[in-house]
Amino acid sequence: MNWKIVEFDQVTSTQDIARQLARSGEEEGTVVLARHQTSGRGRQGRAWYSPRDAGIWATCLLKPDLGAEHLLLLPILISVSIASTVEEATGRKTSIKWPNDVYMGTRKLAGVLCEAETISERGTSFVLAGFGVNLITPQGGFPEEIADLATSVESETGERVDADRLLRSILTALAERYEKLLRGERESIVNEALSRDMLKGSFVKLRVGERIYEGRSEGIGRSGGLLLVDNEGKESEFVSGEVIEFNY
Ligand code: BTN
């Protein structure tokens, strides 16, 4: 994978720019990076707070030749790549909250948003693999609605890391695991996620559409879904949904 980083000062969302580029035929491996996003997006329609120079706000254009059932592992491998790289850079342990939130301690440090677009009849033609990593906590702190949830590398470690160097290390880690996924080597990706899984053994409430499921998490399944065991001892693997409560 030859990454090509295209840098912007300010964008609405790096996902928007990457989508325009993809639609006009840009190659796989292009990375849209911005110093500031005015409408950064998170999963489940949430906003992603992306102040100027406070973190890495990036979207990688990927064109994985894989069926939809394998794509669930893509956001997971991205969060694993971020988690292991940040851990190496800071010496501090990170964990993953299914499906793809990266935590340091009890707060979220990074998030991943993958948006797939299908143009051809053959299936997915490109994936916009976006990630945000909070490097510093802005003056005055995070906005009230995320103040208790979010953290940054600086807040956790007292140190500032070099954003450019960290991004390049994340991209190297990501390329290595992405190539594994393309070769069908799913097990090592799932195992890496499992070794950092912060939900395993916890009691979890999962929202899937309008429904709420409850159970004890048994970790992450082979296809990357969340394994929950309900009160009757029945195990199910959920391939989508939002963990709305868990005991940590
Ligand atoms: C989440 O945890 O909800 C996902 C957050 C993803 C944020 C990144 S920042 C770069 C890219 N552009 C966006 O608008 N969102 C993603």
Asked whether the predicted pLDDT for residue 221 surpasses 80, the reply is yes
For 238, left (φ over 0), alpha (ψ -120 to 50), or beta?
beta
- The best mutation among 11, 17, 48 to test binding of ligand 1, ranked by most ligand atoms within 8 Å of the C-beta, falls on 48
- The pLDDT of 180-187, averaged and rounded, is 94
CA atoms of 226 and 219, how far apart (whole Å): 6
CA angle (15 as vertex; 11, 21 as ends), nearest 5: 90
Ligand 1 centroid–CA 80 distance in Å is 16
15 lines ligand 1 (CB under 6 A): yes
The secondary structure element, H or E, covering residue 154 is helix 153-157
What pTM value is reported for the model? 0.95
178 lines ligand 1 (CB under 6 A): no
101 lines ligand 1 (CB under 6 A): yes
The secondary structure element, H or E, covering residue 168 is helix 163-182
- The pLDDT of 67-74, averaged and rounded, is 85
134 lines ligand 1 (CB under 6 A): no
Range of lowest pLDDT (11-15, 124-128, 172-176, 183-187): 124-128
Write out pLDDT tens, residues 72-113: 899 999 999 999 999 999 999 999 999 999 999 999 999 999
Give the number of other Cβ atoms within 10 Å of residue 198's Cβ. Answer: 18
CA atoms of 77 and 71, how far apart (whole Å): 10
What's the pLDDT score for residue 125? 87
Q: Which residue has the higher pLDDT, 118 or 136?
A: 136
The secondary structure element, H or E, covering residue 235 is strand 235-238
35 lines ligand 1 (CB under 6 A): no
Write out pLDDT tens, residues 51-64: 999 999 999 999 99
Ligand 1 centroid–CA 223 distance in Å is 23
Beta bridge partners of 64: none
- Length of the chain equals 248
CA atoms of 55 and 161, how far apart (whole Å): 10
